[in-house]
Amino acid sequence: MGQWRGIRETLAFLEQHLPGDVLRIPEEVDRDHIGTALVFELEQDGRSPVVVLERVRGSDLPVVTNLAGSRTRMACLIGVPLPELTARWGDWLTRLVPTRTVGRGPVQEVTLSGDALDLTKLPIPWHFGNDAGRYITGGIVVAHDPDTGVPNLSYARMQVKGPHRLGVSFHSRGHLWDYVSRAEARGRNLEVAIVIGVDPIVLVAAAARTRPGVNEYEIAGAMRGAPLEVVPCASIGVAVPAHAELVIEGEVLAGVREDEGPFGEYTGYCTGRSTRHVIQVHGGMRRRDAIYLDVTPGYSSEHLLLGRSQKEHAVLTKLRETVPSVVSVHYPKSGTHFHCYVNLKKEFEGQPKHAATLLLGLDPYVKLVIVVDDDVDVTREEDVLWALATRFQADRGTFVIPDMFCNLLDPSSRNGTSAKLALDATRPLDWRFERHTIPDTARAEAQRLLACFGQA
Ligand code: MN
């Protein structure tokens, strides 16, 4: 099947290229809470490996979670150097590669019709203690535009309501929500495939926020440099990746709404906000030796990183149209989607505030911007806070925009608005202080010594 990797092949690739990045648990464990607990325990310890639950009680499918929990790992799996990950989106989004329909794929090994697919028997986990139930989090929802037929890939949280029923919250104003709304306006259900376990490239492509009409399968093709191979579903007219592990087929019911949630969200809080849609499941397909892929939800690296590189590219591109001296932007994990660090080569006084104002207007999620000089690495939070410690004066370097439109999941927001804060931690242009330096020769010698003796 060409170079597209299912989950088993992805794990084998990682164990070869990043051996410390896969944590296998061979002991039988419960499907509920354990995967999530492991990922959060590891994060407390500054680690974020892929977690493989090889034996899950009551299921013949192993469970893999936190696959996308590290930028280094994702760059390796996509096949680009980490520093180029953000910039490469410029090529990927402009050189889309159409899919290729193939005769047969591993996902078609077993057809699941009727009762052969029972959602309650899959190892779909209960994640957080205060979630409403078990949730599919790593499922890519694929649907075709009811007018144009263009496929859309996106994520949604999906609560298991019964053997063939899911409660779902769509991102309101997202592309899928638009498809569902247009189908519903004609009284029609919308067919959807829920694709579980694909090449990590497809996972990242599905998280991209693009203009309407862009087929995320074609982004995946651009990222891989080869057409994504797709096959038709067994019971609905939707095409899915041939190498997928498991596909659940069904339709979003027109005019039906049911309570869904609460569920632990990216903010680190549990929320019951939901579009309250319902998916009726008809059947599906799977590999004989399928692996169930979970995405660790909530305030986890994996959840926050899936769409991050593309978002940083989009924000940077727009900022640079107006302020070309902006070098890079970084959304730190600690700020969930609400904090952004900006690096620029300052040419004029007031330029950092100009860039910060633009960013606050561009991304309604952002409520804190810190602008630093181009000698500060914005991907290193400690360095950004060092710049704040040594270059920032609160009376001149701060401004606040009160009561601005914001993301509704911010628990501190008031009536959908939030105060927005910008901090200018750049040096004044007439700055006279020099950072201490280490001679290049000494640095090279230190690196040599560490290579010999530094493996403590
Ligand atoms: Mn889309």
Cross-strand pairs, 113 = 283
2 in any annotated domain: no
| CA–centroid distance, residue 221 to ligand 1 (Å) | 15
| CA–centroid distance, residue 176 to ligand 1 (Å) | 7
| CA–centroid distance, residue 370 to ligand 1 (Å) | 30
Q: Is residue 213 domain-shared with residue 320, that is, in the same domain?
A: no
Nearest alpha-carbon partner for 121 in 165, 58, 53: 58
| CA–centroid distance, residue 150 to ligand 1 (Å) | 9
Alpha carbons 368 and 371: distance in angstroms, whole number = 10
Q: Is residue 256 domain-shared with residue 200, that is, in the same domain?
A: yes
| CA–centroid distance, residue 204 to ligand 1 (Å) | 12
* 135 three-class SS: strand
187: left (phi over 0), alpha (psi -120 to 50) or beta: left
Domain CATH for 317: 3.40.1670.10
| CA–centroid distance, residue 173 to ligand 1 (Å) | 11
Question: Could you report the per-residue pLDDT of 263-285, keeping only the tens digit for each?
Answer: 999 999 999 999 999 999 999 99
| CA–centroid distance, residue 147 to ligand 1 (Å) | 15
Q: Which domain holds residue 229?
A: 7-305
| CA–centroid distance, residue 227 to ligand 1 (Å) | 18
| pTM for the predicted model, two decimal places | 0.95
452 in any annotated domain: no
Q: Is residue 101 domain-shared with residue 197, that is, in the same domain?
A: yes
CB 31 within 8 A of CB 63: yes
Given 261, 289, 305, which residue is the final one in a domain?
Answer: 305
- Other CB atoms within a 10 A radius of the CB of residue 188 amount to 14
- What residue has token string 């060409």? 2
- Per-residue DSSP letter, 57: T
Burial 114-144 (b: 16+ CB within 10 A, else e): eeebebeebbbbbbbeebbebbbbbbbbbbb
The pair of structure tokens assigned to 327 is: 């070098």
Q: Is residue 203 domain-shared with residue 172, that is, in the same domain?
A: yes
209 in any annotated domain: yes
| CA–centroid distance, residue 324 to ligand 1 (Å) | 28
Alpha carbons 368 and 419: distance in angstroms, whole number = 9
pLDDT of residue 114: 83
| CA–centroid distance, residue 219 to ligand 1 (Å) | 10
Q: Is residue 158 domain-shared with residue 250, that is, in the same domain?
A: yes
Instruction: Kindly list the strands in the beta sheet with 339-344, ordered across the sheet, starting from the edge strand earlier in the chain.
Output: 326-330, 339-344, 368-373, 417-424, 398-405
pLDDT of residue 456: 58
Q: Is residue 234 domain-shared with residue 372, that is, in the same domain?
A: no
418 in any annotated domain: yes
Q: Is residue 255 domain-shared with residue 383, that is, in the same domain?
A: no
Q: Is residue 314 domain-shared with residue 254, that is, in the same domain?
A: no
| CA–centroid distance, residue 180 to ligand 1 (Å) | 13
| CA–centroid distance, residue 238 to ligand 1 (Å) | 15
| CA–centroid distance, residue 396 to ligand 1 (Å) | 42
438 in any annotated domain: no
Contacts of 367 (CB under 8 A, 6+ apart): 338, 339, 406, 410, 418, 419, 420, 421
- What residue has token string 């040599």? 448
From first to last of its 456 residues, the chain has per-residue pLDDT tens of 348 999 999 999 999 999 899 999 999 999 999 999 999 999 999 999 999 999 999 999 999 999 999 999 999 999 999 999 999 999 999 999 999 999 999 999 999 998 899 999 999 999 999 999 999 999 999 999 999 999 999 999 999 999 999 999 998 889 999 999 999 999 999 999 999 999 999 999 999 999 989 999 999 999 999 999 999 999 999 999 999 999 999 999 999 999 999 999 999 999 999 999 999 999 999 999 999 999 999 999 999 999 999 999 999 999 999 999 999 999 999 999 999 999 999 999 999 999 999 999 999 999 999 999 999 999 999 999 999 999 999 999 999 999 999 988 999 999 999 999 999 999 999 999 999 999 999 999 999 999 999 875
78 in any annotated domain: yes
Question: Could you report the per-residue pLDDT of 393-445, keeping only the tens digit for each?
Answer: 999 999 999 999 998 899 999 999 999 999 999 999 999 999 999 999 999 99
442 in any annotated domain: no
Q: Is residue 46 domain-shared with residue 120, that is, in the same domain?
A: yes
Strands 417-424 and 398-405: antiparallel
pLDDT of residue 373: 98
| CA–centroid distance, residue 253 to ligand 1 (Å) | 21
| CA–centroid distance, residue 316 to ligand 1 (Å) | 20
Q: Is residue 326 domain-shared with residue 180, that is, in the same domain?
A: no
| CA–centroid distance, residue 208 to ligand 1 (Å) | 7
Q: Is residue 333 domain-shared with residue 300, that is, in the same domain?
A: no
Nearest alpha-carbon partner for 153 in 74, 230, 88: 230
Q: How many domains does the chain have?
A: 2
DSSP string, 257-285: ------EE-TTSSEE-----EEEEEEEEE
Given 288, 305, 322, which residue is the final one in a domain?
Answer: 305
Q: Is residue 156 domain-shared with residue 224, that is, in the same domain?
A: yes
pLDDT of residue 3: 84
| CA–centroid distance, residue 177 to ligand 1 (Å) | 10
Given 305, 327, 349, which residue is the final one in a domain?
Answer: 305
* 140 three-class SS: strand
| CA–centroid distance, residue 27 to ligand 1 (Å) | 39
| CA–centroid distance, residue 213 to ligand 1 (Å) | 7
| CA–centroid distance, residue 141 to ligand 1 (Å) | 11
377 in any annotated domain: yes
| CA–centroid distance, residue 175 to ligand 1 (Å) | 5
| CA–centroid distance, residue 153 to ligand 1 (Å) | 6
Domain CATH for 61: 2.30.110.10
